[in-house]
Amino acid sequence: MSVLVENGRVVWIRPTAEEGPVPSEVRVIDAGGSTIVPGMVDAHSHVTLPGGSHWIDRAFDAPEELLDVAEHNGDLLGQAGVRWARDVGSPAAVDAADGQRRALALRVRDRWQKDPTRPRMRAAGTWLAHSGVLPAGLTVEADEGPQLLAAATKQLEDGADFLKLYLDGPKKEEAPWSTEDVRAVAELAHGRGAQVTAHSGTLVGARVGIEAGIDSLEHGFELDSDAAAQMARQGTFLVSTLALFRSWASFAETTTLPRFVEDEGRQRVARRRERAIESVGLAHHAGVRIATGTDFGGGSLRANHLAWEVESLVEAGLKPWEALASATVRGGELLGEPEAGRIHEGGPADFFLVHGNPLNDPTALWRVWKVAWRPDPRAATL
């Protein structure tokens, strides 16, 4: 196949034998032997955070440092073929421009919006969580419904594209808020054209989120078949982040951190991984739309690891082409961006080239050769 690109748009896609005459000023790139893949969507990312084995500590680094981290992550995302980053939580800091304290990722989003070679971004603002769940100072804490609603309102006023709730509570067997409290947040957001998503590590929290009518669950590490069936009926998305467990398992070899190295820690990771794979499998069988996330930054993965999650989805029972769809078109559906994760004539030239066939081998996504939207403004045929 050949693709003609002009000013960042796809003019045509044709069999190479039917290209017809190509004007002499067109720059021809010989991409022989590679596969054209739509730019991917990392539907669960934290662009201001670096990830790695001390991922939570790094969230307390200075805001200027985290803004630098975001620029590095922007490079890594692009080089890995990721066009869209959906940021599901960042630390807040005072912005010198107006003296207002707001989520750092909103600043990154606004900066990247002006540069078509940077990742396209949607940002949730800061995490909204019950006290006693995540380290103090990282999240906006709200223990009661009215506080939660006020905190949600503030995030939207700050310019968040959607809201991120943390549906794990201080007690594992209880959700942090009632269904009514979460429903009020969903209604507020929907009334302003915004979505609500939630971190979901437990079944009890997942049930509250689904019942309350939020738009998606992140992780969904403990779903059952009833929860999955209701998600499918309502159109609730699941954003999978299974590669986390592969990353943590690797830390048994590459760190000396006791919680990864010691037998008990290894077994805990293995058990949670098995349950999480089962959950994604149940969701897939129920027909839930699954988008794909790395959780880079907010977890231990790095910004160029989305291929690892596609591999993990195949392990959970998706066919390779279904897992690729999760990382492309399903992510676009979650964002409400009909052009994200697709290639078509007249659409943006948001594609990249890999070696191998990702329709039957997800590891092909690691072998990126060229990314069409990265700096190179000259028109080209491929």
Applying CB under 5 A, which residues contact Zn ion?
A: 295, 298
For 317, the token pair is 């029972």
The residue of the chain with the least Cβ separation from Zn ion equals 298
Output the DSSP codes for 44-80.
EE-TT---STTHHHHTTS-HHHHHHHHHHHHHHHHHT
Q: Given the complex with Zn ion, which of 46 and 284 has the nearer CB atom?
A: 46
SS3 375: coil
**Minimum distance between the CB of residue 297 and Zn ion, rounded to whole angstroms?**
8
**Minimum distance between the CB of residue 168 and Zn ion, rounded to whole angstroms?**
12
CB 345 within 8 A of CB 13: yes
**Minimum distance between the CB of residue 225 and Zn ion, rounded to whole angstroms?**
25
Q: Given the complex with Zn ion, which of 219 and 284 has the nearer CB atom?
A: 219
Q: 3-state DSSP: the chain helix, strand, coil percent, rounded to 5?
A: 40, 20, 40
Q: Given the complex with Zn ion, which of 88 and 307 has the nearer CB atom?
A: 88
CB 295 within 8 A of CB 244: yes
**Minimum distance between the CB of residue 347 and Zn ion, rounded to whole angstroms?**
30
The dihedral built from the CA positions of residue 287, 288, 292 and 294, taken in this order, carries a sign that is: negative
CB 161 within 8 A of CB 124: yes
Q: Distances in Å between the alpha carbon of 216 and those of 73, 170, 194, 337, 356?
A: 24, 22, 12, 16, 32
Q: Given the complex with Zn ion, which of 91 and 298 has the nearer CB atom?
A: 298
- φ/ψ of 309, rounded to 5, equals -70, -35
**Minimum distance between the CB of residue 109 and Zn ion, rounded to whole angstroms?**
16
β-sheet with 351-355: strand ranges across:
34-38, 351-355, 368-371
Q: Given the complex with Zn ion, which of 297 and 362 has the nearer CB atom?
A: 297
- φ/ψ of 36, rounded to 5, equals -85, 125
**Minimum distance between the CB of residue 133 and Zn ion, rounded to whole angstroms?**
13
**Minimum distance between the CB of residue 354 and Zn ion, rounded to whole angstroms?**
26
Q: How far apart are CA 104 and CA 124, in angstroms?
A: 10
- φ/ψ of 311, rounded to 5, equals -60, -40
Q: Given the complex with Zn ion, which of 295 and 311 has the nearer CB atom?
A: 295
Q: Given the complex with Zn ion, which of 125 and 298 has the nearer CB atom?
A: 298
Q: Given the complex with Zn ion, which of 310 and 371 has the nearer CB atom?
A: 310
**Minimum distance between the CB of residue 219 and Zn ion, rounded to whole angstroms?**
8
SS3 139: coil
Length of the chain: 382
